[in-house]
Amino acid sequence: MLQGEKAEAEKQNDVARRSANEAAADAELAAALARTREAEQAVAIQNKNLEKLRQEAARGIPVATPNE
Amino acid sequence: MRTGLVTAAVFGAAVLGACAEQPLNTQTLEQARAEVQSFSNNPRASEIASREFAASRGSLSRAEDALKEKKQEEVDTYSYIALRQAKTGEARIAEQAAREQLARGNGERDRIMLEARNAQLEAQNKLAAQQTARGMVLTLSGVLFDTGKATLKPGASPTLDRVSGYLAQYPNTRLMVEGYTDSQGSQATNEQLSQARAEAVADALVLRGVPRGRIDTVGHGPELPVASNDTAAGRQQNRRVEMVFSDDAGRFAEGAKGVNR
């Protein structure tokens, strides 16, 4: 392979490697954000359920089962 | 000729100077610096997101090295990666915080349920009812009715007050009021009398504010005696009204009728 072609190939490899690294960082961030969103939604649902439970307990209504 | 050479030299120097002074674009790098700094300042970063903590600092360091070497593309790439690694770490910390909140919420839910259950048990204890196979049962017996009559005597009032208080506290609970007689007299009369006694108890509860729709009544006559009908004392025990409480969902146990089995 000519010197110029070799240099060009290396340059393209370098670009591809950097693109792949950026894509991997994007994917990890997207996955982490999705997990965080899911956990925060679970907290929001739990807060609603707890509020309902507190109100029921205050009114003396027997409360729901533990594994809701 | 000389003038032309001087002009060319001046132009060439100007071009070279311009090339040497052209600064690299550090916009992404600056964002990365700020993000990594902010992430590193989080006291939980090294604990919860140790991988991202190390990786983002490493990537930022490589971006700074590339800046010194004036490699624009590498500056951009490593800055971009450092920025995302720091954001990933922050997301991981937020996720962990949410999961910890969920765990605390579970504890809080258990506590509320335990307190509610304890309050219910305390209320049941105050009621002085018996826990039986057909649920909670409270028996009114003794001299609450005259023989052959269905008029409730004042002696029943304290118990009925407790029952109405309990039903007010637990609005999903229903009540089955069952009337019984001793074996004296005809079957038909005793059935009517036991029904009338159950109705009398239900009416007394309605007067205390219990909705009539939550109370069922039934007369069983001399069925299911709790004592011998051969003695006066036994017959007095058999002349009774039993109040059966439903479960929390308003359901009665299968085959709820009868003595405290």
* Closest partner CB to A50 (pick from B74, B109, B120): B109
* Closest partner CB to B95 (pick from A15, A36, A62): A36
More confident residue, B85 or B232: B85
Tell whether A36 is within 8 A of chain B (Cβ). Answer: yes
pLDDT at residue B260 in the model: 44
pLDDT at residue B261 in the model: 40
Average pLDDT, whole number, for chain B?
86
d(CA B258, CA B242): 9
Average pLDDT, whole number, for chain A?
87
Amino acid (one-letter) located at B209: G
Asked if A39 lies within 8 A of B77 by C-beta distance, the reply is no
* Closest partner CB to A21 (pick from B77, B106, B119): B77
State ipTM: 0.85
Asked if B102 lies within 8 A of A35 by C-beta distance, the reply is no
From first to last of the 68 residues of chain A, give the pLDDT tens digit.
578 888 899 989 989 999 999 999 999 999 999 999 999 999 999 999 999 999 888 877 666 544 44
Instruction: Indicate if the pLDDT at residue B100 is higher than 80.
Output: yes
pLDDT at residue B218 in the model: 94
Instruction: Indicate if the pLDDT at residue B123 is higher than 80.
Output: no
φ, ψ (nearest 5 deg) of residue B18: -65, -40
Q: Residue ranges of the domains in chain B?
A: 22-127, 128-245
d(CA B80, CA A20): 12
Helical residues (DSSP H) of chain B, grouped into ranges:
2-21, 27-41, 45-48, 50-68, 72-127, 157-169, 187-207, 232-238
CATH architecture of B128-245: 2-Layer Sandwich (3.30)
d(CA B16, CA B144): 115
Q: CA of B202, closest CA in chain A: separation in Å?
A: 22
Mean pLDDT of B17-33: 80
Residues of chain B neighbouring A50 (CB-CB closer than 8 A): 105, 108-109, 112
pLDDT at residue B16 in the model: 47
Edge-to-edge order in the sheet of strand B240-245: B130-132, B135-140, B240-245, B175-180, B215-219
